[in-house]
Amino acid sequence: MKLTIPYEEIMQPGHLACQGCGGSLAMRYALKVYGKNTMLSIPACCWAVIDGPFPYTACGVPIFHTAFETAAVVASGIKAGLRVTGKGSSNVIAWAGDGGTFDIGLQAISGAAERNDDITYIVYDNEAYMNTGIQRSSATPPGAWTTTTPVKHYKTGPKKNIVEILAAHRIPYAATASVGYPEDMIKKLEKARDTRGFRFIHVFAPCPTGWKSDPKYTIKLAKLAVQSNIFPLYEIENGIDYKQTKKIKTPKPINEYMNLQGRFKHLSEEEIGNIQKDTDKNYSILSKRFE
């Protein structure tokens, strides 16, 4: 079998991620594809800690740590600064969690997308504010427990559809990816790297700490979310051309995915049934766009 994942490791050992962290895997793959000619703008998120405390760093590429809501626009500023100083060929990635992306940072992302600034925005989505200790974000799925949506009042609203929001800006490239499918993710990263303008990649990255799951199930969960159509894998070019990159012939029931996590443990069969219906409905809406 031909291995398509680049061999070179740019991310270094010694980082501070929890066991089984999907977000650290996502960075590892992203840097493998983007290479050393890359800079990162990282706002408040798990990665602000994972990279290591001053004066250490685990990424092997220059990083500018910035405020929660500014990953996109700081990246735009870096890119502009590099262009005027003759170093515009470097890749600039804004790298943020779901809180910095779906919530507080949305304005700056929308601004950079509308201007079609020549940067890549990658969100590693662990579906809550994990860095501050598992508070709900607008990426938190319905049914989930978090510290601000305790079991008694778990989150009932849907997850914000960030990819659709970004696609509506008609950006050159947007895609979903999962750390459970590295080869698919690598292909998308390569495509993003070789596209000009604003690129957006939504990476599904399980968080054992926040999901109350066993670290050994990170990859399994990342696969199950795709296999049960909770997190379909696809890409969108220019905001209109949808393409499914992983078609699931027989979707698995969502409880297989949910049962491996403590955050959904409180849900009754009926509640899980309703979430299953919503998942099917969402997928059916999305699948029409693949036609």
Instruction: Enumerate binding residues for other proteins (CB under 8 A).
Output: 36-39, 41, 48-49, 51-57, 59-67, 69-70, 73-85, 87, 90, 107-108, 110-111, 114-115, 117
CB atoms within 10 A of CB 72: 29
Q: Taking the complex as a whole, how short is the minimal distance between the CB of residue 107 and other proteins, in angstroms?
A: 6
Q: How far is CA 41 from CA 60, 66, 222, in A?
A: 14, 7, 25
Q: Taking the complex as a whole, how short is the minimal distance between the CB of residue 83 and other proteins, in angstroms?
A: 6
Greatest CA separation for the chain:
60
Residue 165 or 219 with smaller CB distance to other proteins: 165
Residue 73 or 177 with smaller CB distance to other proteins: 73
Q: How far is 160 from 146, CA to CA, in rounded Å?
A: 16
Three-state DSSP at 19 gives coil
Residue 106 or 267 with smaller CB distance to other proteins: 106
Q: Taking the complex as a whole, how short is the minimal distance between the CB of residue 194 and other proteins, in angstroms?
A: 18
Residue 27 or 225 with smaller CB distance to other proteins: 27
Structure tokens at 17: 């991620």
Residue 197 or 273 with smaller CB distance to other proteins: 197
CB contact at 8 A, 230 and 254: yes
Q: Taking the complex as a whole, how short is the minimal distance between the CB of residue 165 and other proteins, in angstroms?
A: 15
Q: How far is 103 from 110, CA to CA, in rounded Å?
A: 12
Instruction: Name the DSSP letter for residue 100.
Output: I
Q: How far is 282 from 160, CA to CA, in rounded Å?
A: 12
Q: Taking the complex as a whole, how short is the minimal distance between the CB of residue 39 and other proteins, in angstroms?
A: 5
